[in-house]
A and B are shown apart, each in its own frame.
Chain A
Amino acid sequence: MADNSLRPPCQAACPIQQDVRGYINLIAEGEFDEALRTIRKTNPLPSVCGLICAHPCETECRRGQVDQPLAIAALKRFATEYGHDDGAEPQTGAKRAEKVAIIGSGPAGLTAAHDLARMGYGVTVFERGTAPGGALRAFIPEYRLPGEVLQKDIERIVALGVEIKTNSELGKDFTLSELKNEGYSAVVLALGLHLSRGLNISGVELDGVLLALPFLREAKLGAGKTVSGKRVIVIGGGNVAVDVARSALRLGAGEVHMACLEARDEMPAFAWEIEAALEEGVKLHCSKGPKSILCSETEVAGLECMEVKAVFDEEGRFNPTFYEEKVSALDGDVVIIAIGQAAELSFLEDTTIKLNQRGQLVFDPDTLATSEEGVFACGEVISGPGTAVQAMASGRQAALAVDCYLRGEQMAAPQPDGRKDVGELLATTAEEIKRLERREMPALALKERMGNFNLIELGYTEIQAVKEAQRCLRCGAGAEYLEDKCAACLTCVRVCPYGAPVATIAGSIDIRADQCQSCGICIVECPARAIVFRQGEDSQIRERVEAAVTEASLSGAEPVVIGLCCSYGAFATSAFAEFFRDNYKPGIRIVKIPCVVKIDTTHLLKAFELGADGVFVVGCLEEDCPYRMSTFWAERRVAAVKKNLDEIGLGGDRLEMYTLSDPTVQKFDEIVTEVTTRVRQLAPSPMRNRREEA
């Protein structure tokens, strides 16, 4: 199917270019398996991303201009939980003889491994920890990412033929030259940032002063230094600091305070993480610089802080300055330092891999090649702290680089998407779009979160997910205007509820793709058939209707009844599919229609022409529908065809339209019974008799 769609902002914002619009709309139509397959095309860690992705897509979502952005990450999680895809990952290349070693099994390493395995290479991942996953496994708290969720994604990567060797640390258990001797043609260093940065202030040597990453690791192992009943002070304002604070609370800390250099709005942690921490009872102390750790005898007694003048200098570089005289103290028994991370690269000192003066890896930003032939690097070890999905994108780039290197090809510059990006949603258009509140994900109540590391967010139910997915504006996948067929009748301009098509001064029509909401009214109403969907839904509906009638007719069952049924909302749930849509006798076929407003009079006529004894249309209620005017147009077209059927003596009572609200979809059965009973009383369609004789 041709795809002339524009690239939506969600996809453009995604470091791994997920087809967000594609999978969101599959969820909206109840195609959960296909949604998961769509996600997996470009994402080897869908379950992980469904839980912890920083979702830059949501920031760019144009629904945000109407009400709130789509809950994209939550919907991804839903797809991974409700979608079934047991098929093997498709190989994109023929089997290759070369072997590649990946050092590190975090998001960068796993993505590089996944991509290279799909390209046909033999891949071994070396992980120094006891289980794969890198920082995802070692540091991300279980209440955000349970280990079994991570394991689910890793198992699919292993199923691709990737070998993961745990307890294998580069520089300790093996060396780069040993890898080469073992026949690895390329090595990817996806080492992550495993060292917690410390502070050079008095008192840091005390027992009660801990570093963030060891604390998180031990907390995950359940063997952490007990903070139970203690007053904990976390130094830092990033995501790791928040993870530490929230973990400490769960471990039973009496009070948890976070002291950070940044002002509240400058804090590098994600806004939603800070909100959650505050909600759980973490006390925030912003614009505080650590001066010294206070002690009474040998025990930590608190943190002495200076008021911060500015965190960044005039050029925007991190260069904190303080009001030395404005000193305050926080009381506490434990201080955990979460002010940053560093790579552990000491083992490279004896190799030919070059480090710069600051001890960082020297690498080519395009090819990710290090100074040593055949050795590449990706992820946070080269980028510094970032998000998991950024690390995945880096891993993907490394896989491409390795492939080019092993093929002896020049690494091509990153290919632009090739499609035009969707532009701005005008305020005038946004005003015309129905407001549909974002469905917040159900979560554990505050009191249920303490004393355990249970996953907080509970996940969407089916109906929540399909309703949330239905909010997608389908940016860039709407109507496409075929100039050579256009009669300039201006029908599109007049029927569009959103004002997307406009007449141009040159006398042609401009269906502004940036404003189109993909409802399809103009496509159906255009008398010249000069408008099509950019992703071909119009011809898909026609094909589905024709196939359904043909199939039902061939079954030999009487009567042949075709239902054209909305595929959104309650109609998209698996219960509806199981008990209604796919559960009728062979003569009755229900065709999914992504909003009945897309039904054309010729679809209905075709169904009768091919031999349907009866046809019925079931839409949702206008107030449940994300589109405007859907029932109005659908009813009008049904009425027109009923008139046609009367005129030719076939009888307009063979066609009927119904609407059902979300809570009443179970009445679908009654509709089918009613239509079937009525149609049974009529003579069988002479159209079908002719077909059988032929």
Chain B
Amino acid sequence: MIVVQQKPLDRIRQMIADYDKILILGCGTCATVSFAGGEKEVQALASILRMADKAKGGGKQFLEHTIKRQCEWEFVDEIEPMVKEVDAILSLGCGIGVQAIAQRFPDVPVLPGLDTCFMGLPQEHGLFSEMCAACGNCILDLTAGICPIARCSKSLLNGPCGGSHDGKCEVSPDLPCAWQLIIERLTKLGRLRELEDIKPPKDWSTSAAGGMRTIDRSDLRITSQDATPQGHEPN
């Protein structure tokens, strides 16, 4: 899932300063699961913002609504009548949601109430860890199901480096060394020998550096091919 967290309140207040009537829009999927942008968080943030505004003598109005996913047009369409009523939308979705809203409603400012942090795993209630860097070329088969791209500070393909001490990364004593984990797991699987094969440099062309990536599934698409947004294919 995409892991998000709420921006500092001051930053949010700064963003909304110029607007009088604001729709706080929650997202019912990843942002809800991240406890940052679900219906409950929308309700709480609206209450807090109303109070912060009143305390300063302001007269802002806040509308509250949550849709199932801000990254789907049909769900986004549903808020059109509300959008007409407001000066701005404070999105409690991830960066994808914010951009979808912006694209769908070109005339209304859309503000990010959340920071989109990473793709991660809820390790336990209230603890999320990054697990995937979306490099576009998965090598988890070679690394015992532990991703060195996302979890090694240097994204090394042939680790560990000299900064690995007692299983921890030199970046932080709390950060496990991904390569230590890979070695431990390969040992358990009886496949440690595989590390003797030096991995050649990874093809990073599928990763984020080349601008917006697009997957065009012509086998699935039913609209005109002209509608394709510009971007490079990740393969």
Residues of chain A having any CB pair with chain B under 8 Å: 485, 487-491, 494-495, 526-529, 600-602, 605-606, 608-609, 644, 647-650, 686-687, 690
- The segment from B34-42, B94-102, B134-142, B157-165 that touches chain A is B34-42
Give the residue of A487, A602, A605, A606 whose beta carbon is less than 8 angstroms from that of B33.
Answer: A487
Determine the residue in chain A with the shortest Cβ distance to B125: A494
With A487-B29, A487-B33, A491-B125 as given contacts, are A527 and B47 in contact (CB-CB < 8 Å)?
A: no
Contact status A650-B55, CB under 8 Å: yes
Contacts of B48 in A (CB 8 A): 605, 644, 647-648
17 A-B pairs whose Cβ atoms sit less than 8 Å apart in the complex: A487-B28, A495-B125, A527-B35, A527-B38, A527-B40, A605-B47, A605-B48, A606-B47, A608-B51, A609-B47, A609-B51, A647-B10, A648-B9, A686-B57, A687-B51, A687-B54, A687-B55
Contact status A602-B44, CB under 8 Å: yes
Q: How far is the CA of A316 from the CA of B124 in the complex (A)?
A: 59
The interface centre, meaning the residue of B29, B43, B47, B122 with most chain A CB atoms within 10 A of its CB, is B47
Give the residue of A485, A644, A686 whose beta carbon is less than 8 angstroms from that of B28.
Answer: A485
Determine the residue in chain B with the shortest Cβ distance to A686: B55
Contact status A609-B50, CB under 8 Å: yes
Minimum C-beta distance from A486 to chain B (A)? 9
Contact status B41-A527, CB under 8 Å: yes
With A487-B33, A527-B33 as given contacts, are A650 and B44 in contact (CB-CB < 8 Å)?
A: no
With A491-B125, A648-B9 as given contacts, are A686 and B54 in contact (CB-CB < 8 Å)?
A: yes
Q: How far is the CA of A600 from the CA of B44 in the complex (A)?
A: 10
Contact status B55-A649, CB under 8 Å: yes
Q: How far is the CA of A690 from the CA of B51 in the complex (A)?
A: 10
Contact status B44-A487, CB under 8 Å: no
Minimum C-beta distance from B43 to chain A (A)? 5
Contacts of B47 in A (CB 8 A): 602, 605-606, 608-609
Contacts of B41 in A (CB 8 A): 527
Contact status A529-B125, CB under 8 Å: no
Q: How far is the CA of A498 from the CA of B35 in the complex (A)?
A: 23
Contact status B40-A528, CB under 8 Å: yes
0/1 interface trace, chain B 44-79, chain A, CB 8 Å (1 if under) = 100110111011010000000010000000000000
Instruction: Verify if B32 is at the interface (C-beta below 8 Å from A).
Output: yes
Minimum C-beta distance from A115 to chain B (A)? 46
Contact status A489-B33, CB under 8 Å: yes
Q: How far is the CA of A527 from the CA of B10 in the complex (A)?
A: 23
Contacts of A687 in B (CB 8 A): 51, 54-55
Q: How large is the interface on B (under 10, 10 to 19, 20 to 34, 35 or more residues)?
A: 20 to 34
Minimum C-beta distance from A503 to chain B (A)? 13
Give the residue of A488, A489, A605, A649 whose beta carbon is less than 8 angstroms from that of B44.
Answer: A605
Contact status A605-B51, CB under 8 Å: yes
Q: How far is the CA of A687 from the CA of B52 in the complex (A)?
A: 9
Interface residues of B in 178-196 (CB under 8 A from A): none
Contacts of B52 in A (CB 8 A): 647-649
Q: How far is the CA of A93 from the CA of B57 in the complex (A)?
A: 57
Give the residue of A489, A600, A601 whose beta carbon is less than 8 angstroms from that of B32.
Answer: A489
Determine the residue in chain A with the shortest Cβ distance to B9: A647
Contacts of A526 in B (CB 8 A): 40
Contacts of B32 in A (CB 8 A): 487, 489, 527-528
Q: How far is the CA of A590 from the CA of B163 in the complex (A)?
A: 59
Contacts of A644 in B (CB 8 A): 44, 48
Q: How far is the CA of A142 from the CA of B98 in the complex (A)?
A: 77
Determine the residue in chain B with the shortest Cβ distance to A600: B40
Minimum C-beta distance from A275 to chain B (A)? 49
Q: How far is the CA of A502 from the CA of B57 in the complex (A)?
A: 47
Minimum C-beta distance from A607 to chain B (A)? 10
Q: How far is the CA of A147 from the CA of B186 in the complex (A)?
A: 84
Determine the residue in chain A with the shortest Cβ distance to B55: A686
Q: How far is the CA of A648 from the CA of B52 in the complex (A)?
A: 5
Q: How far is the CA of A648 from the CA of B8 in the complex (A)?
A: 11
Contact status A602-B40, CB under 8 Å: yes
Determine the residue in chain B with the shortest Cβ distance to A488: B33
Give the residue of A485, A494, A606 whose beta carbon is less than 8 angstroms from that of B39.
Answer: A485
- Given contact pairs A529-B39, A605-B48, A644-B44, enumerate 17 new A-B contacts (beta carbons under 8 Å): A485-B28, A485-B39, A490-B122, A494-B124, A494-B125, A527-B33, A527-B41, A528-B66, A601-B44, A602-B44, A605-B44, A605-B51, A608-B51, A648-B9, A648-B48, A648-B51, A687-B51
10 pairs of A and B residues whose beta carbons are closest in the complex: A527-B38, A605-B47, A648-B52, A489-B33, A487-B32, A529-B39, A494-B125, A686-B55, A647-B9, A527-B32
Determine the residue in chain A with the shortest Cβ distance to B124: A494
Minimum C-beta distance from A544 to chain B (A)? 17
Q: How far is the CA of A605 from the CA of B40 in the complex (A)?
A: 12
Q: How far is the CA of A690 from the CA of B40 in the complex (A)?
A: 25
